[in-house]
Structure 1
Amino acid sequence: MRSAAVFAAAAIAAPFSLCVAGPAAAAPGAPDLSAYQPAPVERYLDTSANGGEVYFQTPDGLLCAMRPAQGRAGCDGPLPGAPTAANEIVLSGDQYSRGLRATATPQFVKPTGGAARVLEVGHKITFADFECAVGEGPKTVCTKGTPPSAWMTVSADGTGIGPRTAGLPADVPDPNDFIGSDDSYLVGIGPKNVFPVFSVSGGLTCKIGMFSGGEIACDGELPGVDNGDNEVFTRVPGPVGTRKAGSPPFSTPAYPGPVRELPAGHRIDSHGGTCMALEDGGVACLAAVGGPPQGFVVTAEDTETFGGQPG
């Protein structure tokens, strides 16, 4: 097994010195919406919601909104440049709620009154800490923060969320690129049944046992591991590594029932942990509690861990 280096920054205090922070800078790659013509926000404002919400349509039929009280903006509808299963994109400062989604309960459709007004090409709306614009193509772009710290883009040339999830090694898949859904992966029924258990097509069975910390692990044959270990894990906070599965293994459901397979290209987010089903049948899982992400990636050829402490 190859273990990636722990990604952490060390802060060094310099006595008798004073550091003054300069103006915040936009995240690298952030869109610049300064050239778009402002549209009067009042035309799109719904004051019935807590703190007000903005709803608009795009020329190509997306239904979009800015919902500051929820900390998110996004669009529902057919998403060009995205996998066909995705019908919603969410911009949020929370990495576990942002990204592409496949949902039957859209959250950016105007809930009352008539249809939302169309935001014409070349125009933008600014509301709270969100700004959304429609460009040629058409292309819909929204940013969060001033200067922008996160953004979403919807266009035929590519649909997705930026920037890349902070702290991930370059060879670890980004949850932003995977599809979340309404599907539940809880097995059985019980009052404390909160931990999803799932399989992936390559044969592993996994459990996200996170609740303000905890453990994520996958059981099964681990490519590239030749010492007999059959479980890869990350304990958050704590070590990452491989081990021999206990009896019952970590992935055994606490409540009996069938274990569902997570489709390739999809992800599960649960209480601060995320697992992604890879196209080759493998899985990537990560979590972070008060520090950089740590976790593991199991492909058809290799098993790797990153962050945390050696298991």
Structure 2
Amino acid sequence: MVLIVLSVLIGIVGYSAAPASAAPPSQPDLRGYLAVIPDAFVMNDEAYFQTPDGLLCSIQPDRGVAGCDGRLPGTMNGVNEIVLTEDANARGLRETASSRFVKSTGDAAPVLREGQKIVFGDFECAVAPGPFTACTKGQPVTQWMVVSPNGTGIGPATDGLPPGFPDPNEFVLGDETYVVGQGAKNLFPLFTVDGGLTCSIIVYSGGEIGCDGPLPGVTSGQNEVFMQLPGTSGIRRADSPKFSTPAYPGPIKQLPVGYRVNGIGSTCMAIPGGVACLGTIAGALHGFQVSPAGVSTIGG
């Protein structure tokens, strides 16, 4: 295998991809809302409420999570949950059959009316006409979510990304597993994406993420893009492709455009015509993007 420096081979390529949703929403200002007495909303140290437009929401301080289940305006069909948490692998938009914010026992959750907010733990959630639902975490606020026809999503943007690089917050996490076959220590997702690439996230306490297949703009035979955690990132020629051969037999599924799949401390996002992957180790961000415009890397 021969490693070729990307800047020599294909030049500097700008980051461009269509995200799953609009840009991250601005931080909502919840100071003008009327705070309700939370007692009627609380069950087992968690607060549950409905919104006038039918969302089922919860604040779960002991888990460090808040969010809502239901049809989310301004998102793709099938997206039915938004999660606000510091856990980068868990936060954002979801398509799931396992609703985590629905009150499971007793009477239905009370309705939080327009103009009201509930303050519970270090979270605040408010409802306004629009319909509009927003939650913030922390004082001062460090994270937030907004559900609105004008844009549904999580803020702020993921730290450290180059301008225009796809943000995992804007991609949908589904229930689908992309681990191929069954066997001992079979932990690593392997999948195809738009543009003919086959990719795998092979990360435990460290490892490698990469894709095999056609690399746009590459004319010298390189057919594999990779990042090592820890280590370098780049492209190379692979006579025995590392990322497209499953350890156990089974069908390889395609990751739909606008969706993401997670590994340990890492994620890959399906973009039109390609993929963008990120991984973090020892606080350092690494990544690569393959799009019709070319190949680019972060870190390494």
TM-score, normalised to structure 1's length? Answer: 0.87
Rounded to whole Å, the distance in 2 between the matches of 1:177 and 1:119 is: 27
Counterpart check, 1:229 vs 2:226 = no
The alpha carbon displacement at 1:71 in A equals 1.6
Of residues 183, 198, 208 in structure 1, which corresponds to 2:201? 208
Matched, 1:285 2:277: yes
Q: Which has the higher contact order (CA 8 A, sep 6+)?
A: 2
Distance 2:173 2:223 in 1: 27
* 2: CA distance, partners of 1:123 / 1:189: 50
Structure 2 residue ranges without an equivalent (≥5) = 1-5, 14-24
Following TM superposition, by how much is the alpha carbon of 1:212 offset from its aligned partner in structure 2, in angstroms? 2.8
Residue 46 of structure 1, aligned match among 34, 39, 43: 43
Match of 1:10 in 2: none
Hey, what does 2:31 align to over in structure 1? Answer: 34
The structure 1 residue matched to 2:238, chosen from 234, 242, 245, is 245
Give 3-state SS (helix, strand or coil) of 1:288's partner. strand
Distance 1:4 1:127 in 2: 48
Q: CA RMSD in A?
A: 1.6
Alignment of 1:1-311 (within 5 A): 1-2=6-7, 29-47=26-44, 52-278=45-271, 280-307=272-299, 309=300
For 2:282 and 2:116, locate their aligned partners in 1 and report how far apart those are by CA, in whole Å. 39
How many Å separate the matches in 2 of 1:178 and 1:67? 23
Cα distance in 2 between the residues matched to 1:157 and 1:237 = 40
Q: Which amino acid aligns with 2:250?
A: G
Letter in 2 for 1:250: F
Give the deviation of 1:213 after TM superposition: 2.2
Is this contact kept in 2: 1:4–1:306, CA < 8 A? no
| 1:232 partner SS | strand
In 1, Cα distance between the equivalents of 2:144 and 2:249? 41
Residues paired across the two proteins, number: 281
How far has the Cα of 1:30 moved from its partner? 2.3
Answer whether contact 1:4 1:305 (CA < 8 A) is retained. Answer: no
Residue 284 of structure 1, CA deviation: 0.3
Correspondence for 2:16 = none
Residues 192, 199 of structure 2: 8 Å contact kept: yes
Q: Deviations over 1:209-234 (max 9, x none)?
A: 11132110000011122221111011
Distance 1:4 1:29 in 2: 31
Task: Report the alpha carbon displacement of residue 270 of structure 1 after superposing the two structures with TM.
Answer: 1.5
Distance 1:64 1:4, change over 3 A: farther
Secondary structure in 2 matching 1:293: strand
Judge conservation of contact 2:48–2:109 (CA < 8 Å) in 1.
yes
Letter in 2 for 1:31: P
Shift, 1:4, TM fit: 7.5
Q: Are the aligned partners of 1:38 and 1:126 in contact in 2 as well (CA < 8 Å)?
A: yes
Question: Does the 8 Å contact 1:30/1:149 carry over to 2?
Answer: no
Identify the residue that residue 12 of structure 1 maps to in structure 2. Answer: none
Identity of paired residues, percent?
55
Identify which range, 154-163 or 207-216, moves more after superposition: 207-216
Once the two structures are TM-superposed, the CA of residue 251 in structure 1 deviates from its matched residue by 2.8
Q: CA deviation at 1:67?
A: 1.1
* C-alpha contact (below 8 Å) 2:168/2:260 kept by paired residues: yes
What SS class does the counterpart of residue 69 from structure 1 fall into? helix
Q: Unaligned stretches of 5+ in structure 1?
A: 6-27
Q: In 2, Cα distance between the equivalents of 1:246 and 1:34?
A: 60
User: Retained in 2: the 8 A contact 1:264–1:277?
Assistant: yes
Please report the TM-score for the alignment, with normalisation by the length of structure 2.
0.90
